[in-house]
Structure 1
Amino acid sequence: MILCHGEHARTRRALASPLRLLAATLLGLSLQATHAAPDYPVTAAQRSTARQVAEAGVPLSELAPNAPESHVVRRGDTLWDISKLFLRSPWRWPELWGMNLEQIRNPHLIYPGQELVLVREGGRARLQFGRAGSGTVKLSPRVRAGDVDNGPVASISLHLIEPFLNDAIVLEADELDNAPRIVAGREGRVLLGRGDTAYVRGEMPPLRNWRVFRQARPLLDPDTKALLGYEAAFVGSAEYVRPGSVTPSADGKTQEIVPGTVVLTTLRQEAGAGDRLAQAPTRDTTNFVPHAPSAPIAGRIVSIYGDGMSAGQNQIVALNRGRVDGIERGHVLAIQRAGERIADRTDPQRAALQLPDETHGHLFVFRVFERVAYALILDAQTAVRPGDRFTQP
């Protein structure tokens, strides 16, 4: 069974701290900007907490050294980009936003063309909406209709993770063992490409869209070697054509097996005999609220997605912490470089020194399973490798 989020648990966690409350009311959770946005229920207590956090802002010491006085949102901007522009620690963005709390509907909608003005007062700073070319004004949030290009800015560059939102999966058990499998290609082809016909053995309901996976591999905890789950590498997509059949012979001792048929529609790598099919779920287009964990957390990188030995910015890694450990979608985590052990050359005794661990990059969690999570490398000063540690930023 493929793991999924618990709605009630996620709701409780989302309201557990002022930062996440403000993040939820500011940014919402939907990328479907072309549709009318729903009202979000906010209690009097939550409204009070949000107002306090929003009005407080951040200390001036938390501003980026060259933070601009204002910024006009451009197409292609992300919330992460904008936050980095103003803040030393982008994951503290909820504290920076000034809010119009008179009518909370969807105050997260930030569009290209809007001006964000940095207001410094009393040793703290906040962002307010302004109007390019004029003074700061108080704007009530509103929903705009239009195409995707005119929609609100996303938290991060979604094209980097969108292919992995549904395609990167972790299974509780090696469930693909019993899934329908490709047994042959047309005209005896061994490697199959886009548009090729594939013959499939196994029970296949007549659903149009299917996903193709390579046989799942176990994910082991780098510390305990415990089995965390099975990662199924995504191969591509297929479209159902016709079912197979099994016809007993007249004597009942043998069977005539006719495989089902699919056409491969999109591929990340060539498909072949033995690859497994799974039903395609509804695309997950949920947005992400970037925030730091509310409690200390630490773990290790299990693997680089795609079997790489090392990774850099914009690549995907698997973590040995998941839902049971308090990991949430949108968590920002710090990648730690282990401190070296050196000899003190200034000491005649050459005493051994353990240098402290140092942060050398950041991760953005976008998919969470029971004991595993996938994260995007936002930045990295050096190569990221399996076994590297991560903590709260």
Structure 2
Amino acid sequence: MVRKTLISNKAFGFLFLFIFLLLPSFISAQTQEYKDYTVEKGDTLWDISQKELNDYFLWPKIWKENPEIKNPDRIYPKQKIRIPLYLLQKEIPETKPKPELETKPEIVKEKPVEKIIEPVKKEYLVNKDILIAIGYIADSVHSVGKITDSPVDRTILGKDDYAYIKTDNPVKIGEKFYIIRSVEKVIHPESGRKLGYLIEILGIAEVVNQENDDVKTIITDSYDEIPTGSLLDNFYEIEPPLAFENPRKPDINGYIVATRQLHIINGTWDIVYIDKGKKDGLQVGDILAPTLQSKHKIINGLIQLINLRESTSTAIVRKCNNSITKGDGITSVK
């Protein structure tokens, strides 16, 4: 009897030691499920994805794992971001787990659980404000009216200000217009031919009242200062394109024909306009590489197309080593 008790105690001791040795590994696995990253000044999810995962185009997955980030273009210094461990280890070959002893699970009858299907979170290439504010290159400056003045005699207007407008045709209450201005005439830097006019969208105006010839509007959105005299164009809905996990890298060469730095409330972006568009087979989301003006072909970063017209495109600068200027080339990403 004493011998059996000793054997039992010895077996219990081995079991306790085994659990004690496994416990730290279990705790470590739990704590390493995510890697914490502290945002630095100038960081974007695009840059963080390259820095931490060696892949720019995994940024939508990082955003998806951080539901507290409502807008991927709004992250701030000292903000904590969680990077999932499975993304960090995606290049590490899987190792087969050691076979475990087969145990027969106890069969427990449970009530069926009703599945709650949550809406899929859409991941956009850029947000709507940026897509509207970047503008476009048009063959001519088209307008359907202009802002004449304001009720308080201000010459510079912004969001929630009222303004009087004059239009070519009768309007209705609730009708909207884009407020635009022509930035510059666009001339091709290599051939010298005229490509059109760079049009900037300054804001959106909505008709709220009409008395005789006085049409009163409210500026519902403003992306830049809006001076009286600004032109109006027809309003149409603009939807931002969805992000691509594996964007195309087309084989094409061309030129940057205009540049601008976009300043809106949630940040600053470098925008470029190129001399290639839909007719050249390009698509929204395509990645291209800008090149320096040099006798050597020197790659100067990455740009991504976010808006296309027939013969021109607009791109956002995702990365650059030196300033990108009008006349720089574009080429395929190798």
If the length of structure 1 is used for normalisation, what is the TM-score? Answer: 0.53
Match of 2:130 in 1: 164
* CA distance in structure 2 between the partners assigned to 1:174 and 1:265 by the alignment: 26
Q: Secondary structure at the match of 1:186?
A: coil
* CA distance in structure 1 between the partners assigned to 2:325 and 2:116 by the alignment: 43
Following superposition, the deviation at residue 392 of structure 1 comes to 0.7
Q: Secondary structure at the match of 2:206?
A: strand
Are the aligned partners of 2:284 and 2:305 in contact in 1 as well (CA < 8 Å)? yes
Q: Within 5 A, what are the aligned runs for 1:1-393?
A: 78=45, 81-82=48-49, 85-87=52-54, 90=56, 111-112=65-66, 115-116=86-87, 117-120=89-92, 145=118, 151=121, 154=123, 158-159=126-127, 162-170=128-136, 172-177=138-143, 179-202=144-167, 203-206=169-172, 207-215=174-182, 217-243=184-210, 245=212, 258-289=213-244, 291=246, 293=248, 295-305=250-260, 314-339=269-294, 356-393=296-333
* CA distance in structure 2 between the partners assigned to 1:190 and 1:297 by the alignment: 45
CA deviations over 1:87-112 (Å, ceiling 9, x no partner): 4x646x7xxxxxxxxxxxxx9x9644
Q: Secondary structure at the match of 2:189?
A: coil
Amino acid at match of 2:285: G
Q: Secondary structure at the match of 1:375?
A: strand
* CA distance in structure 2 between the partners assigned to 1:190 and 1:295 by the alignment: 46
* CA distance in structure 1 between the partners assigned to 2:269 and 2:136 by the alignment: 21
Following superposition, the deviation at residue 271 of structure 1 comes to 2.1
Judged with a 3 Å threshold, the aligned counterparts in structure 2 of structure 1 residues 73 and 333 are, in CA distance, closer, same or farther, namely: farther
Judged with a 3 Å threshold, the aligned counterparts in structure 2 of structure 1 residues 119 and 267 are, in CA distance, closer, same or farther, namely: closer
* CA distance in structure 2 between the partners assigned to 1:73 and 1:325 by the alignment: 43
Are the aligned partners of 1:155 and 1:290 in contact in 2 as well (CA < 8 Å)? no
Amino acid at match of 1:367: N
CA deviations over 1:242-278 (Å, ceiling 9, x no partner): 2465xxxxxxxxxxxx231112233233323321122
CA deviations over 1:36-76 (Å, ceiling 9, x no partner): xxxxxxxxxxxxxxxxxxxxxxxxxxxxxxxxx99769899
Following superposition, the deviation at residue 216 of structure 1 comes to 6.0
Q: Secondary structure at the match of 2:208?
A: strand
Following superposition, the deviation at residue 204 of structure 1 comes to 4.9
Q: Secondary structure at the match of 1:285?
A: coil
* CA distance in structure 2 between the partners assigned to 1:155 and 1:195 by the alignment: 27
CA deviations over 1:276-326 (Å, ceiling 9, x no partner): 122332241321326565542111111122599xxxx94111111111112
Are the aligned partners of 2:247 and 2:287 in contact in 1 as well (CA < 8 Å)? yes
Judged with a 3 Å threshold, the aligned counterparts in structure 2 of structure 1 residues 375 and 223 are, in CA distance, closer, same or farther, namely: same
Q: Secondary structure at the match of 2:300?
A: strand
Match of 1:255 in 2: none
Match of 1:133 in 2: none
Judged with a 3 Å threshold, the aligned counterparts in structure 2 of structure 1 residues 314 and 241 are, in CA distance, closer, same or farther, namely: closer
* CA distance in structure 2 between the partners assigned to 1:86 and 1:194 by the alignment: 40
Are the aligned partners of 1:204 and 1:243 in contact in 2 as well (CA < 8 Å)? no
Are the aligned partners of 1:322 and 1:371 in contact in 2 as well (CA < 8 Å)? yes
Paired residues in the alignment total: 252
Are the aligned partners of 2:250 and 2:288 in contact in 1 as well (CA < 8 Å)? no
Match of 2:103 in 1: none
* CA distance in structure 1 between the partners assigned to 2:250 and 2:158 by the alignment: 47
Rg larger in structure:
2
Following superposition, the deviation at residue 188 of structure 1 comes to 3.4
Amino acid at match of 2:273: A
If the length of structure 2 is used for normalisation, what is the TM-score? Answer: 0.62
CA deviations over 1:112-143 (Å, ceiling 9, x no partner): 4763342555xxxx9xxxxxxxxxxxxxxx99
Q: Secondary structure at the match of 2:324?
A: coil
Structure 1 unpaired stretches of 5+: 1-68, 94-106, 127-141, 246-257, 340-353
Structure 2 unpaired stretches of 5+: 1-31, 67-81, 95-114
Are the aligned partners of 1:184 and 1:272 in contact in 2 as well (CA < 8 Å)? no
Following superposition, the deviation at residue 231 of structure 1 comes to 2.3
Judged with a 3 Å threshold, the aligned counterparts in structure 2 of structure 1 residues 244 and 305 are, in CA distance, closer, same or farther, namely: farther
Amino acid at match of 2:328: D
Are the aligned partners of 2:208 and 2:216 in contact in 1 as well (CA < 8 Å)? yes
* CA distance in structure 2 between the partners assigned to 1:83 and 1:191 by the alignment: 41
Are the aligned partners of 2:259 and 2:325 in contact in 1 as well (CA < 8 Å)? yes
Following superposition, the deviation at residue 223 of structure 1 comes to 1.5
* CA distance in structure 1 between the partners assigned to 2:124 and 2:153 by the alignment: 47
* CA distance in structure 1 between the partners assigned to 2:36 and 2:304 by the alignment: 22
